[in-house]
Amino acid sequence: MIKSALAEALEIIGDKPARTVSKEDVRGYRLTLGKLPAHLGVRYAGRSIAEVLAERESAESRLAAENPTPGLSASTIRKRMSYLISLFKYAERMEWVDKNPADGMRPPKAKKVYAERDAFTDEDLRAIFGSDYKAATLGAGNAARYWIPLVLLYTGARLEEIAQLETADVAEVQGIPCVKIAAASSADAPAEPGEGKSLKTAGSDRTVPIHSGLVALGFLDYVEERRRAGDRRLFPRLQRQRNRGYGVVIGQWFTRWERSHGIASNRKVLHSLRHTFATRLKEADVQEHTIAELLGHEVESITTGRYGKPLGVDKLRQAVGRLEVGEGLRDL
């Protein structure tokens, strides 16, 4: 992640001697970060930053303003600037530059991540996953609408991570049913053109044990049905949208569904299922680095991040098992 971020900085600032990089160059880099879309590598694969910026500023982009591509979050911009500051700090120590041009250029600390979205309450979950949920999704022949929000709730995964899953990604690891979240295909054969997978960061590659509640709902049975049908992808009816992935239609549908069931807050969206997972594990006294590993977050602590080994799947299973959402799903 750091390597790709610095390569991006090099592209924006320009390939020039370190001593010639000025504060104005760094300021321009920071301003450009504010114009870039989130998930640049996924949405605009193979295009230069200049091409991406031109497209976002084009008339076509303005006409699509009702469905804009989200930009980088304040916390992401702050992190990217931190990488540049650290790089030039090292260069200053090595006397490759006279002064750190990025010093003092990092934006103010962003709001806590949990303040950007609200977790769902049990009342919210009962409204979303009420007695009509199954009929409106599975009953209407749309398994993706039924399963994806439930899998997000029980795994804490991101929407695209689940929407792009292959049947081979659901497998036993040391005898424990798990979801393998990875950019590379788990299947033997290569993916068909346009069916590739991607992750937000390198740290997003992980294995998440499947909660017993998800098993009880029949998720593993659904996976087996897809295998028997010969489907490579777990949700084969989802079509990959150009630059937007497989999950965008599920996100749009979920917003309409929750709004029609009395949840009006803009801080409660599909991504709030991920926040609910994290919040409830925290309330259950699961350690922060364990939650971070399950969520696919890079651990910033040097001790646990750089030198700590990934937790074993049994330890992760114990942590996932402490998630309590059954009261919110009692009407399913």
Whether residue 174 is found in the same domain as residue 281? yes
Q: How confident is the model at residue 309 (pLDDT cuts 50, 70, 90)?
A: low
Whether residue 106 is found in the same domain as residue 123? no
Give the lowest-confidence range in 133-147, 216-230, 253-267, 300-314.
300-314
Whether residue 163 is found in the same domain as residue 60? no
Q: Is 67 or 89 the better-scoring residue by pLDDT? A: 89
**113, 134, 149 — which closes off a domain?**
113
Whether residue 93 is found in the same domain as residue 38? yes
Q: List the one residue out of 180, 179, 181, 145 whose CA is nearest residue 160.
A: 181
Q: Is the pLDDT of residue 50 over 70?
A: yes
At residue 34, the pLDDT reads 84
**76, 93, 113 — which closes off a domain?**
113
At residue 184, the pLDDT reads 66
Whether residue 78 is found in the same domain as residue 223? no
Whether residue 218 is found in the same domain as residue 275? yes
**What pLDDT, in 10s, does the model give residues 5-29?**
888 889 899 989 999 999 999 999 9
Whether residue 310 is found in the same domain as residue 166? yes
At residue 301, the pLDDT reads 43
Whether residue 46 is found in the same domain as residue 177? no
**What pLDDT, in 10s, does the model give residues 78-122?**
888 989 999 999 999 999 999 999 988 887 765 554 456 899 999
CATH code at position 222: 1.10.443.10
- Average pLDDT, integer, range 282-308: 74
Is the four-CA dihedral 87, 89, 95, 99 of positive or negative sign? Answer: positive
Whether residue 22 is found in the same domain as residue 132? no
Whether residue 121 is found in the same domain as residue 73? no
Q: How confident is the model at residue 199 (pLDDT cuts 50, 70, 90)?
A: low
**73, 89, 113 — which closes off a domain?**
113
Q: Is the whole-model pTM more than 0.85?
A: no
Whether residue 86 is found in the same domain as residue 9? yes
Residue numbers of the domain that contains 53? 2-113
Domain count across the chain: 2
At residue 63, the pLDDT reads 45
Whether residue 129 is found in the same domain as residue 270? yes
Question: How do beta strands 176-181 and 206-209 pair?
Answer: antiparallel
Give the lowest-confidence range in 29-33, 47-51, 157-161.
47-51
Looking from the CA of 111 toward its CB, the CA atoms found within 13 Å total: 6
